[in-house]
Chain A
Amino acid sequence: MVTVKLFGTLRLDSGVREFTAEADSVRALYPQVLAEIRARKPDSAVTEKTLRACLVAVNGQQTTPRARLKNGDVVYLFPAVAGG
């Protein structure tokens, strides 16, 4: 079981803050994230392509979508950001 947390405009647009899922890699999470978003907002414009373009962090450290997951991991997904 891993915890998935969404950030940035992805979170605001989808209304999903966090949920738990079963997956052994970040990539394998995408369909579950999409299902969670659709359950909350059926008309959401988020697609799997949107998720693939997100930056990924596991347990607070930036990584790639290829990263493997283990039980208890916390996955952050957020779209690109800039500026202050």
Chain B
Amino acid sequence: MNRPSAVIEQSAVSAAPAGPFVAAPDAADRKHVLAERVELLYRQSALGIIATILVATVATAELWYDQYKQLVIFWWITALLIGAARFAVEVAYRRRKDDDPEKWLRWFAIGALAAGVNWGFAGSVFFPSRSDEQQVFVAFLLAGMASGGIPLLSSAWWIYALYAGGILIPFAYVLGTYGARLFTELAILVPVLYAANVAIAFRLDRVFASGLRLRHAYGRLAQDHEALNHQLEGQINELMDAHREVAASGRKLALFAERAPIAVLEMDANATILDVNPAAETLFGYASTELIGRSVLHMLFSRDKHGTIDEAWWGRFAAAAQPASAFQVPCIRRDGLELVCEFSFTPLVNDESKLLSVIAQGRDVTQQLEAERIKREFTSTLSHELRTPLTSIIGSLQLLQSGVFGDMDKDVVELITVAERNGERLLDLINDLLDIEKIESGKFTLVPEALSLDDLVRESLVLNQAFAERFGVKLDVPAELPRVQVYADRKRLLQVLTNLLSNAAKFSPRGLSVEVGLAVQGDTVRVDVQDRGPGIPEEFRGRIFSRFAQADSTVTRQKGGTGLGLAICKRLIELMDGKIGFADRAGGGTRFFFELPVHREAA
């Protein structure tokens, strides 16, 4: 049941911006672009090296024949070494393990500068010493080398500036100091050429840079796109899982409804039946096709019975959209038989609190209600039918005893007393049985009132004095009792006191006293009834407050009593929010007590 909510949480998390969507910082961006520039430089580096060596070799052949042979050889070897060194750097770059494009750029710049300076050396050494044709050749060579570097090096314009500077600055110096007017003019034009080339290189550099940046941005876009796709795929999978789970729980619910012994009906807001389960079909005797589309109020609920659910009720319920349970609704079965069904109505609302449908669950309580009615009637009848003959029996005996018919034989009086006493015992038993039945079926109602417990205790002593005297026992209470009020049912509390007092009197040895006390402790008041009887046998203590509990069945014959008294006392005191108990009394005997909350009237 927790899974669907977990799925929702997951999708909530993955919908939040994750790594690929966070804009990369500019620094990282620049580094990426720089690495691409370096890569571009090194990729064209081999072409540059080979071209340089080829051109240098051709130049060596052209300048070979005169007195500068050693110098030409030296220059050519230097060009080869520089080429080899640059090639070695390229190999090292290809095998690099670090991620430091700036370092590799520096190494490349050193190589390019060295190559440029080597050509500058050629210009400044070989140009002055040559014939006119060869001077043109050298000048052309240098201009070509300087210009040829543009496409190879301009992805870092300043490297090109170093390279071309290495070639042209010494050459311009040689031209300027040569002495010929034409060469002086050319010496002025060479820096212009240099500046123009560097400017072109700079422009190209910018173009490269923006191209690289664009390419990089595009790469990132593609990467993001892929991540997004991946994420979408994940969410779709989650949704599919959730869908499968919902479908599974839907099937489970459908199965519950189908197999449930309780009638389940689904209605719309207008009480039109949308769906019913097999138990509902069985209960009402209709097929689902006969019910679906019809109003539950007209089809199933009895129209003219008290307590029925009508349009007005349904309208109020649909408007409130609050669950309603334990409604006993008179219903009519297809065959016309009247039923009483207990219904619970559960409204299903969407997020906007709009009522979508109402689920009603009902069961037939007709028989249960009938059984309860019969039981009530039986109890009432039992009460009446048993009391009526007892009224006659006890009444007749009392009239005989009253002496209105003159003196009677002592034995006759004794027999009449026995008969009357046993009649009253029977009456007590009936009363006790009715009490316990009412208490246990929850039908017992107390009539509580604020009353003085000390007065009630004194009253109970007066009422039970005569009974105690039959056992030769005195009932004692201190002259001064604390004034205390309780909120309790007067008649029932008197019944409890009478029960405890008569028990104590029955079990006290002749000639001794039963002592009654009253004590207030905080919010509780306690009444004690103490006797000097034989005490409660160990094996009986656990069930003393149970029904028909008496320590010994012979006691009933000796002392009377129904065995229900203490069970009733316990339930009555508990109904009045109190508690009842007993303890051994120091010096022998038993102390029964009950406690009730003190009632303080609001000022």
Is B a genuine binding partner of A? no
**A residues bordering B, Cβ < 8 Å?**
none
